[in-house]
Amino acid sequence: MKELLKSLDRLNKIYEQFDLLNFRAHKAMPLTFDKNDSKELLRQNKRMSFSYSYLNKEKTRLTNLILSQTVNLKDPIFKQSKMFHPELIDKALKLKNIDETHTKEMDTIPNRNRKINKLKRLIAMIQDENIGLCRGYLTQMKVLIYQNKTTLFETRTEKYQPKELLDDLDFRTRIMQFDYDRYMFEEFTPESFLDYLIFEKVHRHATYIRSYDARVLIPGADACGFSGIAYEIEIDGVRECYVTFKGTEADMDYTERSRRKRLDKFLIEGYKDWNYNVNAILIGNDTENRQILVARDFINYLQNNIQRNCSLYGLGHSLGGHFVQTLQLMDDCFSAGYTLNSAPINLKQIKLIKPDLFTSEIWNKLFNLTKDKTNDNIRNNEIKKLLPREYPEIINQSFEQDLTQVFYEIPYTIWIGHKWEYNLNNWKYPFKNHLASYLNAGEIHSYQHFFEQLFAYLQDSETGSQLMRNSLGFIRARVKILHDDIDKPETIEFFYAYSNYLFESKIFLDRPQQITEDFTKSQPSMWQSSRKEWPFLKSLNMDMLDLSVYFHIINGVKYFLSRKPNKIE
């Protein structure tokens, strides 16, 4: 059994290296391409391809070894726990099956010779490794062994210290990621997963673990799309409760066999979160505040049910970070908290929900300070002086050019606590998150209004197909308005400002130059008129879009966090 554990650890390290190689390959993607980049990319390709080849061979070797060790295991405990051995074999067989399927599918990926295409092929092969799923099976095998053979795991003598887990970066990212990966642990309780994770990180046994799922406990949580899990633990007499709030990412439920139903569920789940993002955070109106209200009910439930003298910690990624910050400002409910690539607080939303948080005078000062993010008079210190206190217990960690940082450029948005921004030295990543450098206040308002109208248009959609159909209908209607109004000077200015921002961020690789002339010429149809701008439209840079998503998700951003941050107090 000890040899099997060693093999599991070795294979897990191989998958960690795959994950890191995936980050390095994404980082190397040349979004601003020139000859020097091309030469460097050639060298990087060779190094990364060599690393991948080695890791792939070692992964296959260890997978075969683990299957052999698992099948040949003989242990007296198998007589007491008759399902223990078959369950271990089942996980090992699943790992072997993924490895064999990957080898077959890898041969179908085109091997084109251009250097950038070789890099894309490398990324595709790494992603085809199913890193998350394989690491999930490895963790499941360790959980099974830990539950049945605790004596194999050495315990440290020093007692657990408060916040020891909270201060562990790997623990924070893994517990936040678990909410996205719950479908992989259906046959395990959250308690069993956390029990092993705690021991792995601190080498002390938890004497009490209980999980709380908001979608099970709080009415309306599932209907509005809110997702959060709390884990109440006790280690060496230290009582802590970790509350994790899930972000906007809609995870694909692979336990649903029907592809159509799986996609439908994926689209509807994503729509619920984005409906809240737009109406509550981007706009700050009163039409969609259900998720934050459910989040408050969840925290209230926890405070009434967890053990006394139990510290409550908040953890949230993306939209989840918004909940941590907003709840702390409104209710001061967390002893400490970390957010990752967090969306901001919207003051208009806060006033709708808790108007007595500030006096009328302070509300007016806050709104005046934050209503126009394009002027240079905005000072974080001025805002902080108006807040109840400084909130040093909240740490907001983010990739400096993360896409959610655009939300902080929207009127009436703020953050509390400390902000730690991370980036890489001498790295060319062109995404611009400072809207105010490209758009004036009126243009930013029109940006908000566009999405407000879109989600008002989609509000009656009940299925994924209806969402797609209604979205296309809305876009067609707005393009027609653009076609009819393009000769107006203000429309010309707005269109150029947006297209220039998209071009500078490399979301489009071409900037439209003749848009006014093309649209205003007498054309038989809007379609023929639009064809004039096909060079711009077809220059949509999918590489940039893919990277912006990858560096936003937990698996992409976590590799920035080992570097020294730029701390904004």
Domain contains 460: yes
Burial class (CB in 10 A: 0-12, 13-18, 19+), 472: exposed
Print pLDDT tens along the chain (569 aa). Answer: 889 999 999 999 999 999 999 999 888 877 655 556 656 666 677 788 889 999 999 999 999 999 999 999 888 888 888 899 999 999 999 999 999 887 666 655 555 555 567 778 888 888 888 898 899 999 999 999 999 988 889 999 999 999 999 999 999 999 999 888 877 777 788 899 999 999 999 999 999 999 999 999 999 998 888 999 999 999 999 999 999 999 886 555 555 566 666 677 777 777 778 888 888 888 888 888 999 999 999 999 999 999 989 999 999 999 999 999 999 999 999 999 999 999 999 999 999 999 999 999 999 999 999 988 765 556 788 899 999 999 999 999 999 999 999 889 889 999 999 999 999 888 888 898 888 888 888 888 887 888 877 877 777 777 777 778 888 887 777 767 666 666 677 777 777 788 888 888 988 887 765 444 444 444 444 444 444 555 666 778 888 889 999 999 999 999 999 889 988 86
Tell me the β-bridge partners of 234.
208, 239
Each residue's pLDDT tens digit, 501-526 = 888 898 888 776 544 444 444 444 44
What is the gyration radius of the CA atoms in the chain, in angstroms?
26
Give the helix/strand (H/E) hosting 395: strand 394-399
Whether residue 298 is found in the same domain as residue 407: yes
Whether residue 267 is found in the same domain as residue 123: no
Scanning 161-258, the segments in alpha helix (DSSP H) are 169-178, 190-202, 214-217, 221-224
Scanning 392-463, the segments in alpha helix (DSSP H) are 441-457
Measured CA to CA, the distance from residue 429 to residue 50 in angstroms comes to 25
> 283 is written with which tokens?
């706009």
Domain contains 549: no
Tell me, rounded to whole angstroms, the distance of Cα 74 from its chain centroid: 42
Domain contains 546: no
Whether residue 324 is found in the same domain as residue 305: yes
Measured CA to CA, the distance from residue 508 to residue 455 in angstroms comes to 24
Whether residue 143 is found in the same domain as residue 169: no
> 371 is written with which tokens?
């209503």
Domain contains 561: no
Range of the domain at 309: 161-425
Whether residue 180 is found in the same domain as residue 96: no
The number of folded domains in the chain is: 3
Hey, how many other C-beta atoms are within 10 angstroms of the C-beta on 481?
A: 10
Whether residue 220 is found in the same domain as residue 357: yes
Q: Which amino acid would we find at residue 377?
A: N
Whether residue 137 is found in the same domain as residue 286: no
Whether residue 213 is found in the same domain as residue 76: no
- Nearest Cα to Cα of residue 280 among 353, 358, 218: 353
Domain contains 53: yes
Whether residue 297 is found in the same domain as residue 377: yes
Domain's final residue, options 150, 185, 214 = 150
Q: Is 212 helix (H, G, I), strand (E, B) or coil?
A: strand
> 544 is written with which tokens?
């940039």
Each residue's pLDDT tens digit, 40-58 = 666 677 788 889 999 999 9
- Nearest Cα to Cα of residue 204 among 244, 156, 256: 156
Name every residue whose Cβ is closer than 8 Å to that of residue 202 and which is 6 or more positions away in sequence. 156, 160, 164, 165, 168, 235
How open is the CA angle 321-323-326, to the nearest 5 degrees?
110
Measured CA to CA, the distance from residue 52 to residue 122 in angstroms comes to 8
How open is the CA angle 309-312-315, to the nearest 5 degrees?
165
Prediction pTM value? 0.89
Whether residue 317 is found in the same domain as residue 352: yes
